[in-house]
Amino acid sequence: VPVLLFVAAPYIRRYVAGGQCKSTAKLDGKVVIVTGANTGIGKETARDLARRGKVIVACRDIAKAEAAASEIRAETGNQQVIVKKLDLADTKSIREFAEKFLAEEKELHILINNAGVMLCPYSKTADGFEMHLGVNHLGHFLLTFLLLDRLKQSAPARIVNVSSLAHHGGRIRFHDLHGEKSYNRGLAYCHSKLANVLFTRELARRLQGKSQRRAEFTANSLHPGSVHSELVRHSFVMTWLWKIFSFFLKTPWEGAQTTIYCAVAEELESVTGQYFSDCQPAYVSPRGRDDETAKKLWNVSCELLHIQWD
């Protein structure tokens, strides 16, 4: 058995690694925002895109973000890797980030909503939202809303939402969105990842309806794969399992490939409202294809955030 495993190891690793973004597209003169780019797949996404164009690293922890940005600048030779503070668990911070960005940058071509939390013990954001829903969905929903006009002005533009295969286990529990009646941190994560898929679907529908040329704005979501990253840090058991089975998990670089693909691949220029995994279209759960739920979630999100987004 050990011999067989040794022989099979390269093939297993190749299978686990999954698809790879082959695009060599340059982003000269273009601006990209990557949320949560100080670690994991966000950092690897920023590293790749810094070889192509200007990258805004949007993170809650400025010290970690500066360390990551410094490393990326040194490696890529691109000094246009800029750190901005963004705490997705606080709408005040999101608005401050957007205000500063809009004052300093005249264009935005790619918005990558990557940051996320997973398996948090029950807690709420500064605005009273359950943490998974607040950070993974509502925070990015508000950020996209605030930056949408700049994306439109810079068209063609892309919005990339990092979701997960976990969306298959999710439901939008409108009667208990903030988990006050019952809470399971694993399911809370699944619910928030389903919200990412539904948000992408409804956003694409709305953008398509208002655009004369379909290629002007695209919004797609994706599953990065099971990645050996800090995302499971809130769970001792998952952290332990991740270490034991790391051979069967993607590296952050491998996990970033589908995000990068959605951001730059030429063949996706006019593809919108889709869900990808391993750099190819993937199956979306029936709940993730429910247009009525998507519309209702959109309206409820606007109410919670006190915004009008028609």
CB 61 within 8 Å of CB 38: yes
| Residue of 189, 261, 275, 283 with catalytic role | 189
CB 146 within 8 Å of CB 201: no
The H helix count followed by the E strand count for the chain is 10, 8
CA gap 256, 48 in Å, rounded: 9
CA gap 132, 120 in Å, rounded: 7
CA gap 199, 66 in Å, rounded: 30
CA gap 135, 153 in Å, rounded: 27
CA gap 194, 289 in Å, rounded: 10
Concerning whether 189 is annotated as a catalytic residue, the answer is: yes
Q: Which of 97, 144, 106 is nearest to 30 (CA)?
A: 106
137's torsion region: left (phi>0), alpha (psi -120 to 50) or beta? Answer: alpha
Rg, C-alpha atoms of the chain: 19
Query: Which residues are the active-site residues?
Result: 189
